[in-house]
């Protein structure tokens, strides 16, 4: 059985599961999801047959006692909190009861890559989303949205802003946009993990780096005027973007460390 495990084949049917969604039993053997479902069904039928005092051979139809042993391993493994599945996209362990991989966002049940927050919502309701946004990692999608939103403000200022009321309006745009992006990333990432520590970590990082930098830009805008506003806007948002990328890099490293990859 050792050589089978090394070859990543299903211990029940012998099919190669190297590039497929799979599970491990408590003995470390790979089992494809189809066999896991089949063996669960057989287990249920066996219990019903025993309760009804019927023949186990007529109802269950198991091939050998080895199947029963494998089934017991699977039931124990799938009902325990540390059940193990392998993501078919990034090949990392999915040490969670969630069908969504916490590393790459691949949904095992729907067989597609799920995007957190706004991007996923737009795609799900039929709105056309460019392929480069769908394939990009969340932190890069955030960076693109961040640059687009705040890149518009200098253009508006250069060609249209000649009145004082546009200055606080620009500051308000920074604040609102930052809060929207903060909610987009925070909620999207929290949906993909059930870890309370990860949610707390994401909340603290996003609150520190995004809304606070926007508040700084807005307050300096209202008190100092247009020239300092543009400088503060540029530096605050550049700093926020860099720090946010660093924060997500650290967070992804901690995720990988938690998964043991």
pLDDT tens-digit map of 48-104: 666 665 444 544 444 444 444 544 554 444 444 444 566 777 766 665 556 677 666
pLDDT tops 70 at residue 8: yes
Q: Residue 114 and residue 100: Cα distance in Å, rounded?
A: 8
Residues 6+ apart with CB under 8 A from 9: 15, 16, 17, 30
Residues 6+ apart with CB under 8 A from 165: none
pLDDT for the residue numbered 2? 44
pLDDT tops 80 at residue 9: yes
Q: Residue 153 and residue 146: Cα distance in Å, rounded?
A: 12
pLDDT for the residue numbered 255? 55
Q: Residue 224 and residue 237: Cα distance in Å, rounded?
A: 18
Q: Tell me the mean pLDDT in the region 26-43.
A: 74
What six digits make up the tokens of 154? 């200098």
Q: Tell me the mean pLDDT in the region 26-48.
A: 72
Q: Domain-by-domain residue ranges, the chain?
A: 2-86, 131-259
Q: What's the whole-model pTM score?
A: 0.28
């Amino acid at each position: 059985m050792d050589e089978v495990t090394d070859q990543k084949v299903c211990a029940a049917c012998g099919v190669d599961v190297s590039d497929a969604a799979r599970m491990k039993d408590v003995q470390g053997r790979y089992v494809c999801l189809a066999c896991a479902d089949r063996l669960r069904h057989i287990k249920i039928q066996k219990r019903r047959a025993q309760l009804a005092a019927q023949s186990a051979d007529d109802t269950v139809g198991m091939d050998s006692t080895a199947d029963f042993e494998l089934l017991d391993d699977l039931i124990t493994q799938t009902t325990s909190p540390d059940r193990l599945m392998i993501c078919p996209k990034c090949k990392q362990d999915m040490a969670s009861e969630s069908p969504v991989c916490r590393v790459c966002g691949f949904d095992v049940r729907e067989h597609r890559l799920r995007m957190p927050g706004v991007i996923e919502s737009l795609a799900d309701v039929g709105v056309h989303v460019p392929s480069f946004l769908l394939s990009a990692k969340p932190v890069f999608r955030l960076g693109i949205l961040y640059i687009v939103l705040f890149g518009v403000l200098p253009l508006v200022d250069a060609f249209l802003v000649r009145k004082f009321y546009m200055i606080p309006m620009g500051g308000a745009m920074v604040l609102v946009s930052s809060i929207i992006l903060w909610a987009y990333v925070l909620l999207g990432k929290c949906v993909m993990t059930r870890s309370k520590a990860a949610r707390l970590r994401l909340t603290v990082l996003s609150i520190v780096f995004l809304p606070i930098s926007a508040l700084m830009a807005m307050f300096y805008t209202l008190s100092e005027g247009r020239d300092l506003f543009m400088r503060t806007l540029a530096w605050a948002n550049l700093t926020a973007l860099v720090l946010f990328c660093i924060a997500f890099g650290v967070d992804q490293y901690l995720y990988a460390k938690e998964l043991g990859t």
